[in-house]
Amino acid sequence: MDVLWAPWRMKYIEYAKVHRDSKECFICEAVKAENLEEHLVLYRDSSVVLLMNKFPYNTGHLLLAPSRHVADFSHLTKEELLSLAEMLRKSLTMLKLALSPDGFNVGVNLGRVAGAGLETHLHVHIVPRWNGDTNFMPIISNTKVIPEALKDTYRRLMEHAHVLKAS
């Protein structure tokens, strides 16, 4: 029998267990956090928060959310909606500068049946993609290879975070 070790997955299992019954979601924790790097927050203001996904589909996988705890697009203010769109544009620019991806997947999972792991706080997934970034690992062993540590990617992105503050 072949064994594929993925000890980092235990962090996800433990994280999910702790937060499953938590009254506060991880996005709200990031909105209020004092230590931005610990929560992988790249940008936040009164309308939006941009953070790295702690359990990414790909290197540089970001989550963009309204700062306010809201689950439904129809409950967003016009300011929040505009801020999300502006931050999406700026996030794509930052990712292009920092990581040079060949493309992006941008999406929202609305409701558990649609794949939302956190359905109570609306968030947009921004996933950089590269030619050849998929291989046999997900097909054969249901395993995704992320080639860079989260903190290393965080530091690379922060080198270009000025783009997020620009008008």
Q: Report the C-alpha gap between 86 and 90 in whole angstroms.
A: 6
Tell me whether residue 1 is in a domain: no
- For the chain, the first-to-last Cα distance in angstroms comes to 56
Tell me whether residue 150 is in a domain: yes
Burial 76-90 (b: 16+ CB within 10 A, else e): beeebeebbeebbeb
123 given a catalytic annotation: yes
Q: How would you list the strands of the sheet with 62-66, edge to edge?
A: 41-44, 48-52, 62-66, 124-129, 103-107
pLDDT tens-digit profile of 73-97? 999 999 999 999 999 999 999 999 9
Count, residues in the chain: 167
Whichever domain contains 123, its CATH number is 3.30.428.10
Give yes or no for a contact between 34 and 46, defined as CB atoms under 8 angstroms apart.
no
Average pLDDT over residues 1-17: 61
Which residue has 């930052």 as its token pair?
94
Q: Report the C-alpha gap between 112 and 149 in whole angstroms.
A: 28
Beta-strand runs (E) in 20-159? 41-44, 48-52, 62-66, 103-107, 124-129
Please, which pLDDT band fits residue 132 given cuts at 50, 70 and 90?
A: confident
Tell me whether residue 2 is in a domain: no
Q: CA dihedral defined by 9, 64, 135, 93, rounded to 10 degrees?
A: -140
Tell me whether residue 37 is in a domain: yes
Tell me whether residue 88 is in a domain: yes
pLDDT tens-digit profile of 95-113? 999 999 999 999 988 777 7
The number of domains in the chain is 1
Tell me whether residue 61 is in a domain: yes
Range of the domain at 48: 9-165
Pairing of strands 48-52, 103-107: unpaired
Tell me whether residue 3 is in a domain: no
Question: Of the listed 123, 125, 160, 162, which one is catalytic?
Answer: 123
Indicate the range of 8-22, 35-49, 101-115, 148-162 predicted with least confidence: 8-22
Tell me whether residue 155 is in a domain: yes
pLDDT tens-digit profile of 18-41? 555 556 789 999 999 999 999 999
Q: Mean pLDDT of all residues in the chain?
A: 85
Instruction: Name the amino acid, one letter, at 108.
Output: V
Q: Report the C-alpha gap between 92 and 125 in whole angstroms.
A: 11
